[in-house]
A and B are shown apart, each in its own frame.
Chain A
Amino acid sequence: MQHQLLAIMPELMLIATAVVILLVDPLLPVDGRRGLSWLGIAASLTAAYATWISRGEEFTAFSHGIALDKYSVFFKILLLIVAAMAMLLSEKHLFLKKRLLGDYYGLVLFTTVGMMIMVEAIDLITFFVGLELMALTVYLLAGFFRYEERSIEAALKYFLGGAFASNFLLFGMAILYGLSGSTNYQEISDAVRLGPAPAGPLAIAVILILAGFAFKISAVPFHNWAPDVYQGSPTPAAAFLSVGPKIAGFAAILKFFTLILGSQSGTWVPMMIALSLATMLVGATMALLQKDLKRMLAFSSIGHVGYLLLAVVATGHTGRNLGMAAILFYLAAYAFMNMGAFGVLVFMANRRPGFRDTLDDMAGLARRYPWAAAIMSLFMLSLTGVPPTAGFLAKFYLFSAVVDSGFAWLAVIGALFSLVSAFFYLRVIIYMYMREPETELVESEADLEAGKSWDLDLGLAVAAAGVILLGILPAPVVNAAQDAVVKLLGN
């Protein structure tokens, strides 16, 4: 029993901190609440450290409910870094919007716990508990600015769609349970592989599960919530929920489709190819049409999901771990560059009261805020996939896996959409550096002073450093990603 609690030490630390934050918050004056973000960040980083020192151990706990191995260690540390960055980006924005409540940090921590459980689960029920813990708290984060109509709309849309998706997933899992008589991944896998599982119900289960996951990671045709939700959510929360749930979702998809359904890849690989192509197409073309940067980032993130699905295809098709490792690296790179891009929007919103996240508002930014424009360019170039940034290496790694699996034509299509994506990412740079604003937004000295926050600056610096380091010295993360997936596939 002791051993089991030790297994979820990091999660327990987060939960304890979250509870403390929720209890203490009402007792503090508004100014005192600002320290709560640091409590949350400290908890995340400590939990990340605790996860790191346990990286050598491999065992299952809670009656084979969760597995602790290098795979979960990789993802848990990544998620904890994302959570810490999200809190760095949030504090000042919440203060300026007069919604500085400790609840926010509590919710971020609970979401993180949910995602961590999703990542380490090897049992359908454990997984679902993690999923719902993440989902419910994320809905609340999306609607955190409850006096803003758009924020409420975002929360409602996210909630309704998410509830449907959870039910699809649950239904698919129920069929799997019916077919195998177990909720344990390994046992289901054995039953599916060895037993004479009826093809019809199995295919239905695969389709339902795929649909449920497609919503969670915003793959076409279940993507429509993402732009509205990102646009309506508070920008720092959008940064968090554009990255965190996607990481957890892909971690779970990989386990699901390789551990449980690896033997059925003939069924799901074609579906996954179709899903990936549609996702890349819609993501890239719709992003071209956006004037609002949060919507643009939403559609572009749909495009990135399309690329990631390509690597899932590669993994499923060959059973080799190259594609999986590529996904792990891609998600790490994506976390830094996407949160960084949202972070710059937060930075601007904090300083310019009239800032509306549109391209026009970015015009001429390079003159007034040369550093902000420079790192925004860095994030945009990284998202495009230009070296020497993290985004390039991620794309390179991913295309390697796709080409190696024999799907060179898919890689060519992926490259084509990369080219399209250059259009809308570069447009941001063009507005910042090469256009002058039509109506100059002038912020007063007071606004400028009020908007300053060194923790946001620190968050942006961390994101920029991550993008550059993963681009130039990626070997440790590449190796970690490769180690992490060896046990799952065994090659």
Chain B
Amino acid sequence: MYEFQSQIGFPILTLLTFLPAVGGLAILFMRGKPRLYKSLTLAVTGVNFILSLVLIFYFDRYSADMQFVEKVPWISSLGISYHMAVDGISVLLIMLTSLLSLIIVPASWNYIKDREMQFFAAFLFLETGMIGVFCARDLFLFYVFWEIMLIPMYFIIGVWGGPRRIYAAIKFFLFTFAGSLLMLIAIVAIAYLARANQYATPVFDMDLLEKATFSYSVQIFAFLAFFIAFAVKVPMWPLHTWLPDAHVEAPTAGSVILAGVMLKVGGYGMLRLCIPLFPDAVVAIAPYILVLSLIAIVYGALVSLVQKDLKKLVAYSSVSHMGFVTAGIFALNVIGIEGGIMVMFSHGLLTGALFLMVGFMYERLHTREIADMGGLAGPFPVMAGFLLFFTLASLGLPGLSGFVGEFLSLVGLFTYNKAMAAVASIGIILAAAYLLWMFQRVMFTNLRDDKWYKFPDFSLREMASLLPLGFLAIWAGVYPNTFLQLIQPSATRITEKMAPYLAEHGGAIERLFASLGGLF
């Protein structure tokens, strides 16, 4: 039962996961020493980022196996173990998480003025939850981390958010908690069903569950339960309504993490659990999910088009972009899955950067209304440059990360069904429309207020938070292979597992139309 196979000789995953929580606990005892605990937060997130780089460096990118395995019995009589391991997808997302976490700290340095100690502590606990989700290989452990993510974010929105923060926090909590409870019951159900077949205790270990088989009706039920929990997080239309509220009310750091990482755990969960565990159900339900994804892409883009609030615009654009993630994943081919993951990664960089910028702009102008801005390029040339860069990257300009992901995702979808790919590409056109129009209204047109010339342009600290994101966006755009190499073996493994089921059931889109035909 005890198992430890790490390329580096120390339990790096445990360290990555729990270092932030330990730091968070330590901070709680540093009342009245703001410089000390802020520096500690920076140090902890910095060390964690370095650890994530070490992880990538030692990660064997040609293997689809789970690596850095740590397995210790936990609640043995219930079949629960502390089982951590990562594949390329997890590694990439862990790196993204620790990078965004590091960037948030300087961005919140002066922005958070009230109860700072608790803010930084909550923030570190959040990082533990997020990294834990990406490492867990035991369903129970996965669920624990999944919920640990929820609580600090609830506090971050509810305590440090905007005027309607309480409403937004409750909505966020209840939406995700409802999804989680569904998932919990599905977890319990499959764990006990798997036991009934082969084992003495319930089975929570994902390695074993991937080998177990479930009846068709169980698969459908469990798949839907998991899927709804993840779809809330993604968020997919029509479960997205918590997102604009949460994003708009959350403080900058909260929005960045929410968009940069927490939306990703939804897509990650689908890849990690929904598809490998319930292949029959995936084949049956994928077409409907694709339809929902298309709705999300177009709907999110259309709603972004009419937003008056800059932050809300970015929030709704996330709904649209994440539609490409689910569309790519449920196209169920290697390219589509790779595209979905690349969109996740790129969206984490770009939307993280956009939310940071909205935050920086708000600190100066004290407004987020697009109508109140205008002509900002004059007083703030550096800001305009950064915004232009991230806008272009976000709308999918070739050579930047957004393009790679969306392109691959579209190719995957095209392989699956041409009409669907055509609909999805409308989303890209609309993205260009709302983003460029936004940029024009914010940066050009007439200068609204002369006193803005007195405000400073971006400081070094602010640029320092944006530059790494921009750097990675260029890297991923120019030489995406670095990242695709990490993803490819895992994506291939997933599709290889799906292949016999797909072959058996034929093209999903034909079946969708066939089943729709049954309605008429």
Which residues of A are interface residues toward B (Cβ below 8 A)? 366-367, 370, 381, 386-388, 392, 396-397, 399-400, 403-404, 408, 411-412, 415-416, 418-419, 422-423, 426, 430, 433-435, 474-475, 478-479, 482
Contacts and interface: CB of A to CB of B under 8 A. Distances in A.
Contacts of A408: 185, 189
Given A399-B188, A411-B185, A434-B159, A386 B169 contact: no
B178 interface: yes
A464 to B, nearest CB: 13
A478 B73 CA distance: 14
B174 A422 contact: yes
Given A404-B192, A415-B185, A430-B158, 12 more contacts: A386-B147, A396-B140, A397-B78, A399-B185, A403-B188, A412-B185, A415-B184, A419-B178, A422-B174, A422-B177, A423-B174, A435-B166
A367 B143 CA distance: 31
B75 interface: yes
B197 interface: no
Contacts of B151: 381, 386
B148 A388 contact: yes
Nearest to A475: B75
B77 A396 contact: no
A478 B202 CA distance: 14
B107 to A, nearest CB: 23
B239 to A, nearest CB: 15
Q: Which 9 residue pairs of A and B lie closest in terms of their CB atoms, listed nearest first?
A: A415-B181, A387-B144, A404-B192, A387-B147, A403-B188, A400-B188, A434-B158, A475-B75, A403-B189
B187 to A, nearest CB: 9
Contacts of B115: 366-367
A387 B166 contact: no
Contact of A388 (B144, B178, B188, B192): B144
B165 A434 contact: yes
B143 A387 contact: yes
Contacts of B305: none
Contacts of A416: 181
A426 B173 contact: yes
Nearest to A477: B75
B170 interface: yes
B355 interface: no
Interface string B118-146: 10000000000000000000001001100
Nearest to A416: B181
A381 B77 CA distance: 25
B472 interface: no
B155 interface: yes
A399 B191 CA distance: 12
A429 to B, nearest CB: 8
A92 to B, nearest CB: 25
B178 A400 contact: no
Nearest to B140: A396
Given A387-B144, A408-B185, A422-B173, A403 B192 contact: yes
B169 A434 contact: yes
User: Which of B151, B185, B189, B192 has most A Cβ within 10 Å?
Assistant: B185
Interface string B176-212: 0110011011001101100000000010000000000
5 contacts: A396-B188, A404-B188, A415-B181, A422-B177, A423-B174
Given A386-B147, A433-B158, A474-B75, A419 B192 contact: no
B72 to A, nearest CB: 11
Contact of A482 (B77, B143, B177, B202): B77
B482 interface: no
B404 to A, nearest CB: 37
Given A392-B147, A400-B202, A419 B75 contact: no
A49 to B, nearest CB: 25
Contacts of A411: 185, 188
Contacts of A370: 118
Given A399-B185, A399-B188, A434 B166 contact: yes
Nearest to B190: A403
A419 B144 CA distance: 17
B76 interface: yes
B74 interface: yes
Nearest to B187: A396
Q: What does DSSP make chain A's interface, helix, strand, loop or mixed?
A: helix
Contacts of B502: none
Contacts of A419: 174, 177-178, 181
Given A422-B174, A475-B74, A430 B166 contact: yes
Contacts of A367: 115
Interface string B53-81: 00000000000000000000011111000
Given A381-B151, A387-B144, A478-B77, A396 B184 contact: yes
A412 B159 CA distance: 31
Given A386-B150, A419-B178, A430-B166, A475 B76 contact: yes
Interface in B397-442: none
B73 to A, nearest CB: 8
A202 to B, nearest CB: 33
B182 A415 contact: yes
Nearest to A400: B188
Residue from B148, B165, B177 with most neighbouring chain A CB atoms (10 Å) = B177
Contacts of A435: 166
B79 to A, nearest CB: 10
Contacts of A412: 185
B78 A478 contact: yes
Contacts of A479: 77
Contacts of B181: 415-416, 418-419
Most B CB contacts (10 A, CB to CB) among A370, A404, A479, A482 go to A404
Nearest to A422: B177
Nearest to A405: B192
Nearest to B145: A387
Contacts of B155: 433
A258 B166 CA distance: 47
A380 to B, nearest CB: 11
A418 B181 CA distance: 8
Contacts of B178: 419
Contacts of B74: 475
B77 A403 contact: no
A404 B188 CA distance: 8
B247 to A, nearest CB: 18
Contacts of A478: 75, 77-78
B160 to A, nearest CB: 10
A366 B119 CA distance: 13
Nearest to A386: B147
Contacts of A422: 173-174, 177
A175 B143 CA distance: 48
A408 B155 CA distance: 32
Contacts of B174: 419, 422-423
Contacts of B191: 400
Nearest to A381: B151
A38 B165 CA distance: 46
Nearest to A482: B77
A403 B118 CA distance: 39
A422 B176 CA distance: 12
A430 B192 CA distance: 37
Nearest to A408: B189
A287 to B, nearest CB: 16
A367 B148 CA distance: 23
Q: Most chain-A Cβ atoms within 10 A of its Cβ — which of B143, B148, B182, B184?
A: B184
Contacts of A404: 188, 192
The listed residue with most A CB atoms (<10 A of its CB), out of B118, B144, B202, is: B144
B77 A475 contact: yes
A286 B318 CA distance: 39
A141 to B, nearest CB: 35
Contacts of B118: 366, 370
A396 B186 CA distance: 11
A242 to B, nearest CB: 25
A337 B459 CA distance: 48
Nearest to A397: B78
